[in-house]
Amino acid sequence: MKVSCFKCQHFRVTWDQNNPRGCAAYQFKSKQLPSIIVKQSSGMDCMQFSPKQTQEDRR
């Protein structure tokens, strides 16, 4: 399964212009999507991926 940060509850958009994308689970910010950084660093897909709840899930 390919991890999509945009669909993960841990993904954050930051105010930092140099590092606009962040991951709350791994506690870092970067220019690239966090899932790409994790894959490059560990060779594995992100193990912290957790799908965002949709409005339907909240009901």
What's the predicted TM-score (pTM) here?
0.82
Q: What is the pLDDT of residues 14-55, one digit of tens each?
A: 999 999 999 999 999 999 999 999 999 999 999 999 999 877
Residue 24: DSSP 8-state = T
In the chain, what are the domain boundaries?
5-54
